[in-house]
Structures are given as C-alpha cells and as structure tokens.
Amino acid sequence: MSAAKGASVRSLPETATQSPFRTCQWPFGDPQDDETFRYCGAPTLAPHSYCARHVEMAYRDPDEEREAARAAA
C-alpha cells in the first residue's frame, strides 16, 4: 500500500497539529499521592503535550539509541 502522491505516511492528521495542553503533562511523583503528584507545567512544544526537554526524553530516535549503546560497550 502506498501513500498518495505528495502525502507523508508519518504526517499528523489536521486535527492533531496542536495539543489541547498548554503546559507540559510530564508526570512527577506517584499518581496515587495527591500531595506529591504533579505535572511539569512548562510551556508545551507544539504539537506535543510535553515541553522541549520532555519531548527529547519521550521521542528518542531508536537508531541513535542503538549507536550510543554500541559506542558505550
């Protein structure tokens, strides 16, 4: 199955180009503990629901990860 001419298979649907969150939703603490659980709260990096720092942590390139692991071995 091929993508339509000019379309990217990895492109986001038009409705997914913005996150409904304006602040980072990266969790900290135990969700069962109302006193210590919180979210990062930094401004998000569109179209993600995380800030730039947490986007880097959440969306890593598997090839780069493998290469780093090989270099460390």
Residue 14: what pLDDT?
A: 46
Continuous segment of H or E residues that includes residue 53: helix 52-58
* Burial of residue 24, with CB atoms counted within 10 A of its CB: 0-12 exposed, 13-18 middle, 19 or more buried: buried
Residue pLDDT, tens place only, 10-36: 444 444 455 678 999 999 999 999 999
Distances 57 to 3, 13, 28, 32 between C-alpha atoms, Å: 30, 23, 14, 24
What pTM did the predictor assign?
A: 0.59
